[in-house]
Amino acid sequence: MVEETGVRQRLVFDENIVKNGEAVEINNNEETTCPNKNGLHKEHQSIWEVLDYENLPEWLRDNEYLKSNHRPIVQNYAACFRSIFKLHSETGNIWTHLIGCLIFVAIAAYFWVNTEGHVSLHDKLVFLAFFASAILCLGLSTLFHTVCCHSAEVFVLFRKLDYLGIAVMIIGSMIPMVYYWFYCETIPKLVYISMIVVLGSVVIYVTLSPIFGQNNYRHLRAIVFASMSFTILIPATHYALTHGIYRLHLDRFDLFLLMGFLYIFGAVVYTTRIPERFFPGKCDIWLHSHQLFHLLVVLGAITHYIQAYEMATHRLNGHMKCSN
């Protein structure tokens, strides 16, 4: 398998290695090593070719409708991160949430600097919880999709962190709404925030279980996260009954509904694997369901920020005065 030309050596494709999803390296400067007993090269992979779905190892087979352009096993973190700038089935997944993460870093910095002096620390911390949860969720998602091809162990670890980020974002997204809905009512505010944190902790525990990440539990994952999200309807109903529908209008409930639609639609796209289900092999790089899901999550989070900001502005500008 190794051809020598002077002191330069080059690895050529080994059919068995390719079938196991192993990357192929071209090394012009160093001596190569032979594959180990598992058919894996010990040296760092720097050059590789994309594989068809059927040539992937079992743990990398997530979507049978994406027929080609999959990364092989790349057991080197630097090579995994360099793959961000190459075209493959995870490129869109990586960039959609990487850009989203950077957007929220910028929004958080702008908010923190431009509210200095006229926003209380409590209000800043409420938004900080939201910003931190969004950045964590999008950042962990980016990391997972970047290094998921490293090894089975790394795949499982970062998939759990990905699910953890989703659960944390759900918790962090709900806190500003409850805080500003019950801005002047301490007991309901504390009760509902405590409920959200407790339920969120249960969801986090469930997401970290080994069975939760299996491919055949895709629908269960969507149901668990959606059920957690729907608990926001409990304080929302309480608020509507005690303050009236008109107050919901002032609090931009239209944006709240739009946010919910974006998240729910994203979950439906994710679980049904549309559009690639109807066009197998046509969406391998761009516009497959996971990318669309990512885009809808980012749009939903931005919509939620706008709504929370308008609610906060309405409270802090004196339109709602608390009687002490």
Give the chain's radius of gyration (CA, Å): 24
The answer to whether residues 171 and 229 touch, using CB atoms and an 8 Å cutoff, is no
Residue pair 181/235 in contact by the 8 Å Cβ criterion: yes
Which residues belong to the annotated binding site?
A: 145, 290, 294
The span from the CA of 324 to the CA of 322, in Å, is 6
Which positions make up the binding site for Zn(2+)?
145, 290, 294
Q: Where are the alpha helices (DSSP H) in the chain?
A: 15-19, 77-82, 91-114, 121-147, 152-181, 186-207, 218-230, 233-243, 245-250, 253-272, 289-314
- How many other CB atoms are found less than 10 A from the CB of residue 162? 20
172 Cα distance to chain centroid: 14
